[in-house]
Chain A
Amino acid sequence: MSDTMTEAPLVRLTDCEKRYGTIIALTGVSLEVHAGEVTCVLGDNGAGKSTLIKVIAGMHHCDAGVYEVEGERVRFASPREALERGIATVYQDLAVVSLMPVWRNFFLGSEVRKGVGPLSRLDIRFMRETTRTELHNMGIDLRDVDQPIGTLSGGERQCVAIARAVYFGAKVLILDEPTAALGVKQAGVVLRYIMRAKERGLGVVFITHNPHHAYPVGDRFLILNRGRPLGDFARDEITRERLTALMAGGEELEQLSHELEGAAATDTALGRVAEEFEHEVAELSIRKTPPEPPA
């Protein structure tokens, strides 16, 4: 990975600021995405994660700051242009059509055809086989590429959307909360594909509010809070606990804990809540040893 560090990063955002009218959605945010690395963007609701995605994906421009792709300053007019530069975004709704077969979804908008003129038709066999192979290479074991994509589980659909972006030449993959609506096992499946994409040499921007999902796969962590960077850490500079505490706004948590205790003096039901809360806050600060990083 060291050789990629010397090259210009795939995506570099420097001191980005974005305003919606008088509201400052982002300010002073910098971000680098290198090939074969996963950059996690963490933050609670309203932290500016969505705005950041939209800037990188070419839907919005920075009002101030510099956006570079492979060392070259850019200003995208549309998400289409960003896509042409290899920056693919997988949104939460995944942009799939649930009644259509998996292979038709995989190639939707980029259909492969054979024949000329009025006889130009879909190369169905090629698309079916390619879908099967590509999904298999991403480690997705699909029953049947002819089944409507709506019959797949949430995690599988997410993986199809990722595999599609990878196949169509994405260099940078932006994943908008891919694990948010998933169960534990399914989230694990998606995290595994993020690792696969990374191993294939893609730069991944993984947006999430869950530090337990971010920590195992991330190489860099950018934490946002109310539109401002709260910290930018390499993996060896931070522990999972510190990440969780920062993410939740550790000091605010302790403050809340104290307030609950005060209120508990007059209300026994609240007392139990406060006790549990205190316990959790304590646990966050006690466990300092980082867990075994994934190989």
Chain B
Amino acid sequence: MSHAVQAAAPPSVPDERIARRSPLARLLARPETGSLAGAVVIYVFFYAVAPPFRGLDALATILYASSTIGIPAVAVALLMIGGEFDLSAGVAVTSASLVASMLSFQLTMNVWVGVALALLLALGVGALNGYLVMKTGIPSFLVTLATFLMLQGLNLAITKLITGTVASPDISDMDGFGSAQKIFAAEWDVGGLSLRISVLWWLLFTAIATWTLLRTRVGNWIFAVGGAQSSARAVGVPVRRVKIGLFMTVGFLAWFTGMNLLFSFNSIQSGEGVGNEFLYIIAAVIGGCLLTGGYGSAVGAATGAFIFGMTTQGIVYAGWNPDWFKFFLGAMLLGATLLNLWVRRRTEAAR
């Protein structure tokens, strides 16, 4: 045991062992790489087999379909990186739009009032989910399964109670509809292409989530609470606040998606949204999020949603029976999961 403390050599001197990690290896280690490669393969595939798929108008349609899954999937991905699930996200979208439309309609108020109250409700459901999970320690899978069922029941029962039907009333002639539609569901004609604003929102939310994850303190905390909750707590990360915040983010983007649907279609079916929560989770997992938390990316979730959009539309453009869609979705999920498993084994075991 030598007493001599070595003088600090300049740390910039490269270690000869660093060189082995090539830029390619670094790229492969990123969570979204697998899904990006998958997206390219699927794009090329449909480009080859389905001529209508090649047009820009088809791309615009695909992007819109992707955005309706992609917006909530961004929040779901953040939540999964934080180590939790939210099964209530799919019906929460419908709940938000039902609340916004029916409140405005029944009280004959400006639709913005309903929109604001729906936001409060969506954030409240998120906060409740998060609070219950953190307070009781019950897995979020169970807690949000319960809220999922309760919301689904409320959606159907209250809509029937108020309107006597299974759909919310048409609110397209109400005050504030025009301005709300401009924000949530605008559609522009760009050189003959129909471009939807939700695509831009999707890209913006993905960018914000990516910045937050990789460049902010909160992002660091999200990875930490998902990767090792007790360790995070031990070094002073406010675990409860981070997780409740993540559940509320899911609530926020579910609300946003709900508003997009409401102001696109003017009226909402109360039974909608069931099953979509799995699409969000699938998009996040295809995008490289680990089910166990602590690993994943928002860009990956966006790519996962894009793969989803391409496949749904591509099957139609190729003239195939859409019954095959779920099979493809399942196969992709399995492939993505195997890839993720392989990546994690490499990451955790490599010396």
B299 interface residue (CB < 8 Å to A): no
Residue-by-residue, is A197-225 near B (CB-CB < 8 Å gives 1, otherwise 0)? 00100000000000000001000000000
B5 interface residue (CB < 8 Å to A): yes
**Contact between B18 and A120, CB atoms less than 8 A apart:** no
Choice from A120, A137, A148 contacting B216 with Cβ under 8 Å: A120
A255 interface residue (CB < 8 Å to B): no
**Contact between B348 and A99, CB atoms less than 8 A apart:** yes
Task: Please report the C-alpha to C-alpha distance between residue A290 and residue B3 in the assembled complex, in whole angstroms.
Answer: 20
**Contact between A113 and B217, CB atoms less than 8 A apart:** yes
Given contacts A108-B232, A121-B215, A133-B11, contact A97 B351 (CB under 8 A): no
A150 interface residue (CB < 8 Å to B): yes
- Taking CB atoms, residues of chain A closer than 8 Å to B230 are 93, 95
A110 interface residue (CB < 8 Å to B): yes
- Taking CB atoms, residues of chain B closer than 8 Å to A94 are 231
**Contact between A148 and B348, CB atoms less than 8 A apart:** yes
Residue of B nearest to A150 (CB): B348
A21 interface residue (CB < 8 Å to B): no
Residue of A nearest to B11 (CB): A132
Number of interface residues of B (CB under 8 A): 37
Choice from A120, A143, A196, A199 contacting B17 with Cβ under 8 Å: A143
B38 interface residue (CB < 8 Å to A): no
**Contact between B223 and A99, CB atoms less than 8 A apart:** yes
Choice from A100, A109, A129, A192 contacting B223 with Cβ under 8 Å: A100
**Contact between B231 and A93, CB atoms less than 8 A apart:** yes
Q: Taking the nearest CB of chain B, how far is it from the CB of A48, in angstroms?
A: 22
B107 interface residue (CB < 8 Å to A): no
- Taking CB atoms, residues of chain B closer than 8 Å to A150 are 347-348
B234 interface residue (CB < 8 Å to A): yes
Residue-by-residue, is B329-351 near A (CB-CB < 8 Å gives 1, otherwise 0)? 00000000000000010011111
- Taking CB atoms, residues of chain A closer than 8 Å to B1 are 191-192, 195, 216, 294-295
Q: Which residues of B contact A (CB under 8 A)?
A: 1-3, 5-6, 8-9, 11, 15, 17-18, 21, 211, 215-217, 219-220, 223-224, 227-228, 230-232, 234-237, 294-295, 344, 347-351
Besides the known contacts A110-B236, A148-B348, 11 further A-B residue pairs in the complex with CB atoms under 8 A apart: A97-B232, A98-B348, A99-B347, A108-B220, A111-B220, A120-B217, A121-B215, A133-B8, A136-B11, A151-B349, A199-B5
